[in-house]
Structure 1
Amino acid sequence: QLPPVISFFLYICEYTMLLWTSSVCQPNKDTTIWLTIFPTNMVLRVNINQIEPATRDWICKVQIVEIGRPRESLDKKCTFQNLILEDEEECQIKAVMYTDEIAQYAATLKLLNTYLISTAKVKVSPTSYGKPIHKFQWTLDKETVIEQIKESHEVERPLPPPTKLNITSFDRLPHLMVDSTAEIDILAIVLRCGPQKNAGRSQHRCREITLCDNQ
């Protein structure tokens, strides 16, 4: 019996080769991907709610439904970036990247693209900044395996556009002003869009836009 880490590494190598040769063997009505090279080992194909810190050798199919801007930590010691991932059951979880990984994955991770992700670090979500969207969160680092699923993929299909929207209504905005770093999504109609002009005496250009929501 091989150690889990070695088995998983060999799995990734074999899975990549099988995709290239279009000879993946996957039983119907089963969420486990079986490898012919390791008949006694398996890597779990699971959804977000099935993954815990103790879960080993898992793969999850997700879509990026939100990408935050890179921000500095409160202690100014590092830069981080938050992403919201959604699986096939529309369950969402926050994923975090730090300085090196932000640059590493900048060209790979794009909004609304679908990916197979494995070996992300899983930990309990902090509650000091409000109620998290999931009890766990993922950290994407150099050991995380990320494979984009494109339309031309021979085995997997990209996930459809998300229907679960996290919209903030206008009457909630005053409560969020205490946190200047808060990132929100709004759904509104543009009633008026003014011309571009300089902001005060600076050379920064700005434009005044009037919005209306459904309230």
Structure 2
Amino acid sequence: MRRRSKMKKSNYELMVGLCNFLHLPCNNETEANTMDQRLPVDAITPETTDWTCKIQVVDKFRPRKSSDSSVHFQTILVQDESEQQVSIILYGDDIPKYENLFGLFETYLVSCAKVREPRSYSIRAATYEWVADRYTIIEAVTNNNRSEAPLSAPTKLDTLSFSAIEDQRPGVEFGKHPSYILASFPIN
């Protein structure tokens, strides 16, 4: 009786295998070998293909509907290693699919999201925004992942002491501002 060894492959490895099997076009020889361009947020445009970006979640907004209630969406604000930010948008049935992903300050490898100009209802964090759908590959980077290390905590955080909460404008949620951390200590 032959035994098969059970190797668990990452989502990215599965994507590379599928792309190689389907003989998808590549932009250059290096890309043909790896099917991966590791790029920063500001280098990814609608024309960029076969890209991967290492990001960290800095804010996750509740799902909501557009002003005319025709679109159900959720915005996740992320940043790359150089703290360049971009919004990731989830729509409709994709919102529950990613419910357990995108933990605050957790690191992920994102590949092949749709890149487009921000919509009127979007949070403008960059020139473009990304739409995560069923074709997007998102892989969590954990401390026990030997090939990738999680990103360290962001350095550009806005803090707000508990005593300053009453000074905030009425009707403004803390979640509306990227990277708010409530602090119980005085800020000098």
TM over 0.5: yes
* Distance in 1, Cα, partners of 2:153 & 2:175: 24
- Percent of matched pairs sharing the same residue: 31
- Pair 1:12-2:15 in alignment: yes
* Distance in 2, Cα, partners of 1:49 & 1:123: 13
- SS, match of residue 156 in structure 1: coil
- Pair 1:70-2:63 in alignment: yes
User: Greater Rg, structure 1 or structure 2?
Assistant: 1
User: CA offset at residue 152 of structure 1?
Assistant: 1.1
Instruction: Determine if contact 1:33/1:43 at 8 Å carries over to the other structure.
Output: no
Gaps of at least 5 residues in structure 1 are: 1-8, 16-31, 191-212
Instruction: Determine if contact 2:16/2:35 at 8 Å carries over to the other structure.
Output: no
| TM-score with structure 1 setting the length | 0.63
User: What do you get for the CA RMSD once the two structures are aligned?
Assistant: 3.4
Cα offsets for 1:174-204 (capped at 9, x unmatched): 3x74x789723364548xxxxxxxxxxxxxx
Instruction: Determine if contact 1:44/1:57 at 8 Å carries over to the other structure.
Output: yes
2:127 pairs, out of 116, 135, 141, with: 135
- SS, match of residue 85 in structure 1: strand
User: CA offset at residue 150 of structure 1?
Assistant: 1.0
* Distance in 1, Cα, partners of 2:146 & 2:29: 15
Give the 5 Å matches for 1:176-191: 177=171, 183-184=176-177, 185=180, 187-189=182-184
Change (3 A) 1:149 1:214: closer
Change (3 A) 1:171 1:132: farther
* Distance in 1, Cα, partners of 2:66 & 2:122: 16
2:117 pairs, out of 119, 124, 135, with: 124
Give the structure with the higher percent strand: 1
| TM-score with structure 2 setting the length | 0.71
User: CA offset at residue 129 of structure 1?
Assistant: 6.0
Change (3 A) 1:149 1:54: same
2:156 aligns with 164
Cα offsets for 1:132-169 (capped at 9, x unmatched): 22111111111101111111112111111111224578
User: CA offset at residue 75 of structure 1?
Assistant: 1.4
Change (3 A) 1:33 1:166: farther
- SS, match of residue 157 in structure 1: coil
Instruction: Determine if contact 1:64/1:86 at 8 Å carries over to the other structure.
Output: yes
